[in-house]
Amino acid sequence: MLQRVRIKICGLRDPVQAAKIAQMGTDAIGLVMAPSPRWVSPEQARAVTDQLPPLVWAVGVFADSPPETINAAVRRSGIHVIQLHGQEKPELVEALERPCIKAFAMRDANWIDSVRNWLDGVKDHRRLLAILLDAYKSDARGGTGQRFNWEWVLAARAKRQLEGLPPLVLSGGLDAGVVGDAIDIVQPWAVDVSSGVESAPGIKDLNKVADFIQATKEGSPLRSEFWMP
């Protein structure tokens, strides 16, 4: 069976553009509600989620917000999934009203230890849909256009250290020119792009989006453990 990498386009602000991108074959739209040039209010996010077709996730991105703030934003915005992109404690997962994706900044080849230590603190792993691997930058969280060393994931897989992990979402410095190589190396469940398909922060270039979606379908067959029955 052909395995298809899921696609999340993050950092959208315009409802009309979000609807077009969803219709192009994107699986999820990211709405940044953490400090960022791509920030949207819950009301702006609601305008986007109201335009999305069925089965396209609206993912709200937060960083170090308390659970009351996140849950209030969930109710007002209509998002389906919460992405935690800060230094959140694993206990936060239990307090949230939507399932989560947890982002980890990839600092070095020992990344897997930090991930597993965090996962050990999550009581109900059914509430954690995936983990997102992003480039580390001391003064920014995501949307930087920087990559980490994808070989770190390949090395962890060779040591069988990925077994039992939630599905992986690959982020950080992706665009149509590199995403095929990234998929071949990392073998992720999904890819996440923001600045790599933009004309300006929060404004996507639809030609770049189309090229990115096409590029995810090229390359070697996927053999990721996250696709095994």
The pLDDT of residue 138 is above 60: no
Note if 108 is an active site residue.
Answer: no
pLDDT grade, residue 47 (50/70/90)? very high
Query: Looking at residue 188, what is its pLDDT?
Result: 95
Report d(CA 200, CA 102) in Å as an integer.
Answer: 26
**This prediction's pTM:** 0.94
The pLDDT of residue 106 is above 60: yes
CATH number for the domain harbouring residue 139: 3.20.20.70
The conformational region for residue 126 under phi > 0 = left, psi -120 to 50 = alpha, else beta, is: alpha
pLDDT grade, residue 2 (50/70/90)? low
- Given the residues 10, 27, 50, 139, the one annotated as active site: 10
Query: Looking at residue 141, what is its pLDDT?
Result: 54
Q: pLDDT per residue over 178-207, tens digit each?
A: 999 999 999 999 999 999 999 999 999 999
Instruction: Give CA separation, 221 vs 94, 155, 184, in Å.
Output: 36, 19, 8
Tokens of 179: 């995403």
Tokens of 174: 């992706």
Q: What number is the average pLDDT over the span 6-35?
A: 96
Report d(CA 100, CA 98) in Å as an integer.
Answer: 6
Q: How many domains does the chain have?
A: 1
221 lies in some domain: no
226 lies in some domain: no
Task: Please indicate whether residue 136 or residue 38 has the higher confidence score (pLDDT).
Answer: 38
66 lies in some domain: yes
Residue ranges making up the domain that contains 56: 6-216
Give 109-118's long-range contacts (Cβ < 8 A, gap of 24+): 109/149, 109/152, 109/155, 111/152, 111/156, 112/156, 112/161, 112/162, 115/165, 116/165, 118/90
- Given the residues 14, 100, 120, 134, the one annotated as active site: 134
210 lies in some domain: yes
Query: Looking at residue 3, what is its pLDDT?
Result: 74
The pLDDT of residue 226 is above 90: no
pLDDT grade, residue 144 (50/70/90)? low
Note if 184 is an active site residue.
Answer: no
Query: Looking at residue 4, what is its pLDDT?
Result: 85
pLDDT grade, residue 146 (50/70/90)? confident
> Residues in the chain, how many?
229
125 lies in some domain: yes
